[in-house]
Structure 1
Amino acid sequence: GPGSEFPGVEPGHFGVCVDSLTSDKASVPIVLEKLLEHVEMHGLYTEGLYRKSGAANRTRELRQALQTDPAAVKLENFPIHAITGVLKQWLRELPEPLMTFAQYGDFLRAVELPEKQEQLAAIYAVLEHLPEANHNSLERLIFHLVKVALLEDVNRMSPGALAIIFAPCLLRCPDNSDPLTSMKDVLKITTCVEMLIKEQMRKYKVKMEEISQLEAAESIAFRRLSLLRQNA
């Protein structure tokens, strides 16, 4: 992998290909997982989460610490906006964006389809072609953004707002030739990411609904059982 020409020297955790940061033990890069988990524990109720930027010096300090030894970093010592800022940096600095240069055109074409269900089906078809490390990391990130968006009433971050922030971190044009085209592309990319967040939210809500029905059914069954026992 990278850095192999200097045996014993760690390539670090920023600006490195996703697949070299994953392994059998860690299907998602440690820095990504650690930052997302912390935000999920401590940040979901923060208004303007991901929109506000943290103090530059704290962000730099955190980035440096994660670059050196992510496992040792105590994230509770950093303000939440430094943490969200470093997460966005981590995504932007990947040599190839999470949703890859190879798939860029296909994602755009998916969004250009006339009908919403077609668009979604096409987006999910493109996702299937992502390398495994990218796919796992993206899935983890989208799940995180769903958790944020589910608390929009508190944190004021809608799927649309999150998409505007994250789309440029996840997909970028292989060659920024024509600024006008790339502006149009940014809108399409944003739509693509917004649709992903909304669709996963929908699936999550369906799942939760099924679980609560199941739990209700279980508790009814359990009550019946205990009644039967009393009568036996």
Structure 2
Amino acid sequence: MRDGLKDIQAQVRNYVLAMEGLFGAAHNMTFLFAPLSGETAKQLKLSLCRVAVQDAMIRGLTEYLEAPLKAVLDFCDGIDLLAKQRGQLLLDYDHHKRKHEAARRESGKGGDMEDEVKARSTKLNASIDNLKDCTTQILAQVAALSKVEPQLKESLFKGLSACQVFYCQASLSAFETDFVESTDMRDYVMSLQSTTTTLENSMPLPPLGEHVAFLRNALASAAAEVRGEGKLGYVYGRPLSDLEEPPPLLLECIGFLDANGLYVPGLFRVPGSTEKIQQLKSTFDAGEHVEFDERIHDVHEVATLLKMYFRELPEPVVPTAFYHPMLEASDLPEFVETVRVLVAQLPEINRTCVRLLFAFLLRVSLLSAENLMTTENLGIVFAPNLLRAPNATEINVMDLQPCINLVKRIIECAEEIFPGLWKGYPVAASQG
């Protein structure tokens, strides 16, 4: 499957190169309108080819063609990483299967191995659930690629339209600036004005970045639909910008985990039952209230629900515009002051959700001797769910460790970074 994805990537990249070659050739054309002669033609060639073709058409290429293609390529890279992860999960499954079978054989010989068999069985079942979940994600995302083909074609068409519109706009500007008094150009100027107006009215272009975000959301929505989760739900996958206050899911999960999970080893690292997690997720997405009960709900299932919520946000809780400034702050002596300023610039709903999460993660880390979740381990778990570079589907592999370090340091300095850290925290006893 990875080979097939690489073929897709190669085809798309070849298309980008072909488009660059096409516009490079256009840049070298002597003139793009009807032939003219003399000094006027010479000046037009110098002015229009430089201003209109090089700047305008290449701008259309990079902003309206290359960017959406990169979004799809990033999505393909994400599938490739999932495939590698699945390979590791297969090895884990084989390992736990052998250990489980060995424990059962020893138990059959009369040894006191009941607890060992149960422990091995639990780990084996967890590895099976992880493998199933990863496989489901891969199949869903591969299917999503074909489902969004119309949107991709539309985006590419808009890219070609953008090149044409930008060219006419820049050309008209060049005419009006350099040849405003040239009587022999009057007909060309009038014709170009008419063409430019027609194009602008018939091919309205989306704001920069909007069409890329639309494409990324279409991919996420298609993948969710293939997984049987329907369209982006009432809670999961819903942009934070749609909300005025933190979703009940966030408060319910933090409250339950604070009360029942702080002393549980491997919190956030041990998976819960995939079937039960999907049932709970569907309930939340249907807009129904869920009141967690420690007699019914497993800590690891609720922890997974919380991670999934942040992972499936179409725009991460730390918006992509803050990705590089946040990473750059990690190595600064003024780390706390810099991050505090950046956090203050987040949209209010994002700032509230981030504050509540890091308040909880701070409490988890303070009991790491019991739950084994140090700030480093929490960074490993949450960095991929909270941070994403612009026009990417996940953290750049090269940025993974810096992102982990960033989350780690924010947890450690949470009380200094977030004013009123415990405001609205769902467990009153934790305040202070």
TM-score range, shorter chain: 0.7 to 0.9
Do the aligned residues in 2 keep the contact of 1:92 with 1:169 (CA within 8 Å)? yes
Residue by residue over 1:61-112, the C-alpha shift from the partner in whole angstroms, topping out at 9 and shown as x without a partner, is 1111121234244443221111111111110011111111111111111124
Q: State the SS of the aligned residue for 2:272.
A: coil
Q: 2:362 aligns with which of 136, 142, 146?
A: 146
Q: 1:90 aligns with which of 309, 317, 330?
A: 309
Q: Which runs of 5+ in 1 are unaligned?
A: 1-9, 208-232
Shift of residue 176, structure 1, vs aligned partner: 3.7
- 1:20 equivalent in alignment to 2:242: yes
1:192/1:32 Cα in 2 relative to 1: closer, same or farther (>3 Å)? Answer: same
Distance in 2, matches of 1:12 and 1:95, equals 13
Q: State the SS of the aligned residue for 2:320.
A: coil
Q: State the SS of the aligned residue for 2:246.
A: coil
- 1:69 equivalent in alignment to 2:69: no
Counting aligned pairs with the same residue, the percent is 27
Residue by residue over 1:35-61, the C-alpha shift from the partner in whole angstroms, topping out at 9 and shown as x without a partner, is 111101111111000011111111111
Residue by residue over 1:165-190, the C-alpha shift from the partner in whole angstroms, topping out at 9 and shown as x without a partner, is 0111111122349x9x9222121111
Q: 1:111 aligns with which of 330, 336, 356?
A: 330
Shift of residue 19, structure 1, vs aligned partner: 3.3
- 1:32 equivalent in alignment to 2:254: no
Q: State the partner residue of 1:216.
A: none
Q: 1:157 aligns with which of 368, 373, 384?
A: 373
- 1:182 equivalent in alignment to 2:400: no
Distance in 2, matches of 1:199 and 1:146, equals 9
Distance in 1, matches of 2:325 and 2:355, equals 18
The structure with the largest helix share of the pair is: 2
Q: State the SS of the aligned residue for 2:264.
A: coil
Distance in 2, matches of 1:198 and 1:74, equals 29
Q: 1:50 aligns with which of 265, 268, 272?
A: 268
Distance in 2, matches of 1:193 and 1:68, equals 32
After the TM superposition, which of the residue ranges 122-131 and 82-91 deviates more from structure 2? 122-131
Q: 1:173 aligns with which of 389, 403, 407?
A: 389
Q: How many residues align?
A: 187
Which structure would you say has the larger RCO, counting Cα contacts within 8 Å and 6 or more residues apart?
1
Shift of residue 147, structure 1, vs aligned partner: 1.0
Q: Which runs of 5+ in 2 are unaligned?
A: 1-231, 422-432
Distance in 1, matches of 2:287 and 2:410, equals 32
Distance in 2, matches of 1:40 and 1:148, equals 8
Matched letter for residue 100 of structure 1: P
Q: Structure 2-normalised TM-score?
A: 0.41
Q: State the SS of the aligned residue for 2:407.
A: helix
1:203/1:15 Cα in 2 relative to 1: closer, same or farther (>3 Å)? Answer: closer
Shift of residue 131, structure 1, vs aligned partner: 0.3
Q: State the partner residue of 2:338.
A: 122
Distance in 2, matches of 1:172 and 1:201, equals 24
